[in-house]
Structure 1
Amino acid sequence: MSLDFLAGFYPWTKSLHLVSVIAWMAGLFYLPRLYVYHTTSETGSAQSELFKVMERRLLRGIMNPAMVAAWIFGATLVLTPGVVDWSAGWWHGKMAGFLGMTLFHHHLGYARKDFLADRRRHSERYWRAMNEVPTVLLVLIVIMVIVKPF
């Protein structure tokens, strides 16, 4: 089956992929920050309960759909003939970064379940450090796609 028809949709696919990634990244930047604040709130307090609602809405309402959309549109781009030079090495780096973002997303999801059960397995300092992970992954991905260093 020829996938040549995808070339005609390339600008739309790329645009929707970028919008999805931006929405996903916004959540990946914000959720660890909410965890920093949640960690410092008193268990069972009104503030702690509010954080639980905010975290659930962010993860389920924005981050999960954006991640799925980013994967779908990204896979469509990869399947579009002529978009990826499979002999180049940059796409390995991008895929590593993208998989890292997905694993980090799932780590945040498991942590939300812990917060929901009033288990705080990690410190405020841990979540402050985790808040930097999406930035590192973003820099890796952008450099791989734009600069294509190898």
Structure 2
Amino acid sequence: MEDFLAGLYPWVKFLHVISVISWMAGLFYLPRLFVYHAERVGQGNPTDDLFQVMERRLLRAIMNPAMIASWVFGLALVLTPGIVDWTMLWPWLKAGSVLGMTAFHMWLAARRRDFAEGRNSVTGRRYRMMNEVPTLLMIVIVASVIVKF
């Protein structure tokens, strides 16, 4: 298994990076949709329906598969011999940040359900602030992997 993963390393890394880019695009865009949905769209009208369709499709068709693929290919990289030195700080920072990113994804999914059920209570301002979470986590992840401190 180890030789198999080592031989596929460049392809797994490629697929991991593509998956992460797709996931991050959704993590940046969905809270933006929520800002406009919360501030400018009422409930039970055609614009509300349109926003709900966009939010649902973004989450289910792009973000969920991209998150799963990011995890699968990321775990394959972790299992590849010689890639991760767990005695260093960087893999732990990255792992913690990826868990944080996953929790943020789940928070967004719950907020989408709130909109769908007509019970959103989060303000546009709060969604704007929460939109910074994936950026901060991304900085920690990229710095951890590139600098390897």
Tell me the TM-score normalized by structure 2.
Answer: 0.97
1:55 aligned onto 2:55: yes
The offset of 1:4, in angstroms, is: 2.2
2:102 corresponding residue in structure 1: 102
Q: Which amino acid aligns with 1:88?
A: M
1:55-74 aligned within 5 A = 55-74=55-74
Deviations 1:76-109 (A, max 9, x none): 0000000001211110000011000000000000
Listed as ranges, the matches of 1:66-145 within 5 Å are 66-145=66-145
CA RMSD, Structure 1 to Structure 2 (Å): 0.8
Please say if 1:43 is aligned against 2:51: no
Contact 2:90 2:144 in 1 (8 A): yes
Q: Please state how far the C-alpha of 1:120 moved relative to its aligned partner.
A: 1.4
Amino acid in the other structure paired with 1:108: L
**Residues 24-59 of structure 1, C-alpha deviations (whole Å, 9 max, x = no match):** 000000000000011021111211110000000000
Is the 8 Å Cα contact of residues 86 and 92 (structure 2) preserved in structure 1?
no
Q: Which of structure 1's runs of 4+ aligned residues deviate more than 4 A? A: none
Question: 100-109 or 81-90, which moves further after superposition?
Answer: 81-90
Could you tell me how far apart the structure 2 residues matched to 1:45 and 1:148 are?
A: 50
Structure 1 portions without partners, runs of 5+: none
C-alpha distance in structure 2 between counterparts of 1:58 and 1:7, whole Å: 34
- How does the TM-score come out when normalised to structure 1? 0.96
Aligned mates of 1:90, 1:142 — CA distance in 2: 10
